[in-house]
């Protein structure tokens, strides 16, 4: 479970990146976070991950306050940032071993876990190569693998489909569904509204740091006319926010 309690964040005198956000993402659901560029999506996600601190308010991961108990809270989730260009001088296997050490993945089970994820993302033959030699899509895959390696209860994914080939994107969506069906939490931002419409149990639309809507896609469509696409509804909401 992810909980935002009246969270605010601004950068200087500009309009706030997070404007009194209160939001609950429950166990057993895939939650989509939608908004135009500069709406506050990545700022909100970085606060969830403990990279940025809110100016006010609080965020909890499975009941653990990220500001008060950061280490304990960070063990609750796996985080995929919006850029995969991390630790590029390491080889793929070195990066995964580092992530396994960070999250205390047992030595007895980590090889099997790495092998399974590498097979899912067709990365087995690339694990001995330096990440800096990877394509953007391969870098995205290795970061996703590292985030999921310790099988966290909460997945926080910032634009995770960017750069993935269709097969890997399909595999990730299947894994997200299985994770939620196991009673765990998936929170991801996306610009691909078709993905949000077909994959998510609930969505939130954010613009100018404010949550404009949080709920089921079908309920949102029924509120408008029932037959409008999510894309059209999204454009109408953000244009008039």
For 17-50, the pLDDT digits (tens) are 999 999 999 999 999 999 888 889 999 999 999 9
The two structure tokens encoding residue 81: 């940032």
The pLDDT tens digits for 203-213 are 999 988 999 98
The pair of structure tokens assigned to 26 is 């429950």
Angstrom CA distances, 177 to 134, 186, 222, stand at 28, 8, 24
Domains and CATH numbers, the chain: 1-76+154-241 (3.40.50.300), 84-152 (no CATH)
Put simply, whether the predicted model's pTM sits higher than 0.85 gets the answer yes
- Find the range with the poorest average confidence among 115-119, 120-124, 167-171, 177-181: 167-171
Contact 2, 59 (CB under 8 A): yes
């Amino acid at each position: 479970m992810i909980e935002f309690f009246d969270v605010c964040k601004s950068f200087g005198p500009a309009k706030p990146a997070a404007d009194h956000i209160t939001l609950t993402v429950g166990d057993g659901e895939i939650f989509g976070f939608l908004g135009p560029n500069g709406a506050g999506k990545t700022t909100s996600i970085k606060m969830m991950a403990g990279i940025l601190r809110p100016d006010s308010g609080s965020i909890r991961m499975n009941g653990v306050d990220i500001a008060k108990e950061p280490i304990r809270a960070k063990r609750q989730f796996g985080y995929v940032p919006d850029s995969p260009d991390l630790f590029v001088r390491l080889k793929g296997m070195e990066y995964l071993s580092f992530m396994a050490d960070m999250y205390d993945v047992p030595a007895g089970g980590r090889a099997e876990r790495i092998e399974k994820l590498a097979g899912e993302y067709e990365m087995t033959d690339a694990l001995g190569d330096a990440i800096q030699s990877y394509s953007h899509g391969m870098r995205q895959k290795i970061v996703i693998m590292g985030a999921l390696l310790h099988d966290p209860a909460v997945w926080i994914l910032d634009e995770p489909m960017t750069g993935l080939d269709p097969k890997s994107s399909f595999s990730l969506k299947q894994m997200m569904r299985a994770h939620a069906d196991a009673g765990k939490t998936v929170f991801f931002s996306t610009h691909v509204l078709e993905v949000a419409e077909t994959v998510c149990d609930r969505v939130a639309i954010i613009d100018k740091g404010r949550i404009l809507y949080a709920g089921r896609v079908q309920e949102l469509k029924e509120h408008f006319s029932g037959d409008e696409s999510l894309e059209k509804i999204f454009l109408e909401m953000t244009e008039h926010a």
